[in-house]
Amino acid sequence: MKGVPVLVIPLIRDQFYNARVIEYRGLGLYIRKTDLHNYGTIRSTLHKLLGTKRFSQNAKRFSAMLNNRAKRSRDLLLHWTDLIAEFGSLPELKPYGGNYRTVKYFTIDVIITCLLSVIASLIFKFSLVFVLYRLTKKLQLTAVDLLSSQKRKKTV
C-alpha cells in the first residue's frame, strides 16, 4: 500500500457507503456514476483530489497504520500501543454508532413498538376469552332456566 488518495465511483450496494466513508475519513473523493458524462465535474474532482495535500497525507497515514499490523496477541497489544503513541487519537477507529442518540443506538423505539403490539395483542386475546366466557355462562344459565321451566310444566 502506497498511500495514494482514492477516487471512488460507486455503482452498487455497499459501494455508496464505502465511498462516503472514504470521503469522511479524508482518504479521497467520490463521483456519482450519473456525473461521469460531465467533464467539468470529473476535472474539478480530480483537481481537488490531486491538489489538496490533506488527501495525500491522510492516505499515507492510513497506509502506514495498515502496514503496521501485528499477527499474535502480544504483538497485537504492542502494535495498538505503538499505534496510539505514534498517531495519537484515531478517529478512523471510532464506530459511527457512537454518534447515535441512546434511543437510536439501542433501538428503543423498535423495542417499545414491539412491546406495545404484544401488550395490545394480549389485551385483545384476554378480552376475547372474557367475552366468550361470559357468553357461554349466559347460554348455560338460559339452558338451565329452560330445563327448570320445562320440569315445572311437566309437574303441573
Q: What is the pLDDT of residue 37?
A: 92
Is residue 145, in this structure, part of any structural domain at all?
no
Q: Does some domain include residue 64?
A: yes
Q: Does 40 map to a domain?
A: yes
pLDDT score recorded for residue 155? 64
| DSSP, res 89 | S
Digit-coded pLDDT (tens) for 116-140: 999 999 999 999 999 999 888 887 7
Residue 30 falls within a domain, yes or no? yes
- Provide the residue range defining the domain that includes 14: 6-68
Q: Please give the model's pTM, rounded to 2 decimal places.
A: 0.49
Q: E strands within 20-156?
A: 28-30
The distance from CA 81 to its chain's CA centroid, rounded to whole angstroms, is: 30
Average pLDDT, the chain: 87
**Would 16 be classed as within a structural domain?**
yes
Model confidence at 145: pLDDT above 80: no
What's the angle, vertex CA 48, arms to CA 45 and CA 53, rounded to 5?
145
For the ranges 54-63, 67-76, 147-156, the lowest mean pLDDT is seen at 147-156
Tell me how many domains the chain contains: 1
pLDDT digits (tens, 9 = 90+) for 37-57: 999 999 999 999 999 999 999
